Each structure stands twice: as structure tokens, then as C-alpha cells.
Amino acid sequence: MEGILKARKSVRRARTVKKYLFLASIIGVQLALFCFFYVGISGGAVLMAFQKNTGGRAVLTLDHFKRFFDVFLHTSDIWIALRNTFIFFFFGFVMLPISFANSYFMYKKIWGYKIFRVLFFLPSVISMVVWSQIYGGIVGPQGPVARLFQILSGSEFPPHFLGDSRYALIFVILYSFWLGYAGSFILFGGALSRIPESVIEAGKIDGVGWFRELVQVIIPLVWPTLSTMLILSLTGLFTASGNIFLLTNGAFGTTTISFIIFQNTYNGGNMADLPPATQGYTAALGLVFTVLTIPLVFLTVKLLKKVEDVKY
């Protein structure tokens, strides 16, 4: 009897070992790489923020943070960047329900939805470099929008919408709205298409109107997708900068925090020549905003969870 138990135990142990060996073989490499890069890069960034070179030796310092607060208090650059960051963030939040509404109508098979569905891919299929060139051509001083504005306002020259602090930010946002309108329609569409037909039909039989159906049946059913996307849009708060880079290169009051960081890093493509002070300053700036995002993110996660719990 004891022998059988022992044998069973050892078989089970062998199975467990085998399972872990298998798991290690399929996820070990990428996990090790992740740890190596993540720890190396974020650790490196923290070190960079606290280090400076004096006489060829790295010493700990708070200089980069001092410089950051100096710049923060005495110049307007970071304030403008911070303001724009929140403007873009707010805009991203507003875009989510809009693009969800768009997906909803496609799910409801609005007339021509098959063609629309294909065309809404265009913004993501064609490179942003191409779109920004086209947009620059259309709203630029030579383009039709500026000409129309010139005629309507009766001014002498057509305005340079992307090269003028009065308009640039608005036109960067318009560009994001133009191309981001359909948004994550693939993921929204995927979620909507998985709603069981029976649920919708049951509602119809009970005489539920289309608006009640949307608010009380459809949105609750796809809420996990919606809330995930909402949380993920937070991620972009301090990281998205692509459109600014291509449209205005951060000039004319359109810069953001993430763009300042990118600009300091890219610096015309001469990474190797980047002075350590700039590296340290950039790292310090990033660290301050990373710490600031943490409570914001967790607050949002909590709020979204609460909404979910209360409603359903």
C-alpha cells in the first residue's frame, strides 16, 4: 500500500517537473529578456536621473531635479507641455465614446457599413508620415483650407495654420480627430459581434427601444472592453507624441511632456553625442511624471471598477 502511494507521489512529482520544464521552455526566454530589458532600462533611467559625471567618475546628485524645478518654475515650456498633455488626454477620453458610437452603428449594419468598415482601416494602413504630408498640404498656406479662410476673413495672406501659435494646437487636435475618429473599431467591433443574438432578440420581444437597448443591454455587455480601453488610454497620457513630431516638431505651443522627452533623446539623430547633463535632466523629468501618474492611474482603475460593480 505504502509503495503504491509512494509511486503515485513520484509520478505526480515527475508530472509537475515536466509541466514546469515545458512552461519554462515556452515562456522562459521572453520573460528573461523582459526582466533584463525592463530592469536594465528603468534602473538605468533612475540612475541617470540621480547621477552626474565629475572628473570621469559618476557621483550621486540632485542637480538634475534642481534644474527641472528651476525650468518648471521660471520658464513656460514645461507648463505649456503639461497643459497640452492634459488637453490631448482629455481629447483622447472624448474620442472613446465617439468611436464607440461609430462602431455601434456599424454593428447595427448602417447602410453601406461594409464599405465604411474597409475604409476606416485607411488611417492605420497608411503611414502617419504620409498622412501628415497630406494634411500639411491641405491645411498649409498653399492649400484650400487656408485660401478659404483668407477669402472669408478678408486678410491679405493665407494663414499658416500649423506655423502659428494661435492655430497650431487646434490644427494638431483636428488632425488627431480626423484620423482617430474610427479609433479602435476593430476591438469594439469584435466585442459587439460577440453579443449573443438571443439577448438582443429577447429585448426586442419585450419591447425595449433602441436607446434603452444600447444603454441597458449593449454597453453593459461590452463594458469589460470599454473599461480596458479607457484604462489603456491613460497609458498614452505621457507617452504619445507622434502627431506633434510630424506636424509641428513641437513648435508653436504644441509640445507635450512626452515630446520633450523624445526631442531630448532624438536630438537630431546624434544620440551618441548627447551630453550626459541632458540625459540626466530628461531622465529626472520622466521620473517626476512617472511618479505623478501612479495615483492617477490607480484612481481611474478604482473608479472604473466601482462603476462596474454598482451598475451590474
Does position 193 interact with other proteins (CB under 8 A)? The reply is: yes
For other proteins, the binding residue among 87, 217, 301, 304 (CB under 8 A) is: 301
Query: Smallest Cα–Cα separation from 128: which of 178, 81, 166, 165?
Result: 178
In degrees, rounded to 5, the angle at the alpha carbon of residue 306 between the alpha carbons of residues 303 and 310 is 145
Number of residues that bind other proteins (CB under 8 A): 117
Shortest reach from residue 264's CB to other proteins, in Å: 7
Rounded Cα gap, residues 86 and 151, in angstroms = 34
Which residue's CB is nearer to other proteins, number 183 or number 253? 183
Query: Smallest Cα–Cα separation from 278: which of 2, 40, 64, 57?
Result: 64
- Give CA torsion, residues 277, 280, 285, 289, to 10 deg: 180
For other proteins, the binding residue among 61, 150, 216, 293 (CB under 8 A) is: 293
Shortest reach from residue 3's CB to other proteins, in Å: 25
Rounded Cα gap, residues 124 and 187, in angstroms = 14
- Contact region with other proteins (CB under 8 A), list: 4-12, 153-161, 162-170, 281-289: 281-289
For other proteins, the binding residue among 11, 91, 209, 307 (CB under 8 A) is: 209
Shortest reach from residue 304's CB to other proteins, in Å: 11
Shortest reach from residue 90's CB to other proteins, in Å: 18
Residue with cell 547633463: 277
Query: Smallest Cα–Cα separation from 246: which of 174, 162, 164?
Result: 162
Which residue's CB is nearer to other proteins, number 7 or number 31? 31
For other proteins, the binding residue among 61, 150, 216, 227 (CB under 8 A) is: 227
For other proteins, the binding residue among 10, 153, 155, 235 (CB under 8 A) is: 235
Shortest reach from residue 79's CB to other proteins, in Å: 17
Which residues ranging from 131 to 170 are in contact with other proteins (CB under 8 A)? 131, 133-135, 137-138, 142-144
Does position 195 interact with other proteins (CB under 8 A)? The reply is: yes
Extract the C-alpha cell encoding 68: 527641472
Shortest reach from residue 204's CB to other proteins, in Å: 6
Does position 275 interact with other proteins (CB under 8 A)? The reply is: no
Query: Smallest Cα–Cα separation from 276: which of 260, 264, 258?
Result: 264
The 3-class SS string of 32-68 reads HHHHHHHHHHHHHHHHHHHEEEECCEEEECCHHHHHH
Distances in whole angstroms, Cα of residue 36 to Cα of each of 21, 24, 70, 249: 21, 16, 34, 33
Shortest reach from residue 4's CB to other proteins, in Å: 22
For other proteins, the binding residue among 1, 4, 73, 272 (CB under 8 A) is: 272
CA atoms within 13 A on the CB side of 300: 15
Which residues ranging from 24 to 53 are in contact with other proteins (CB under 8 A)? 26-27, 29-31, 33-34, 37-38, 40-45, 47-49
Which residues ranging from 82 to 111 are in contact with other proteins (CB under 8 A)? 101-102, 105, 108, 110-111
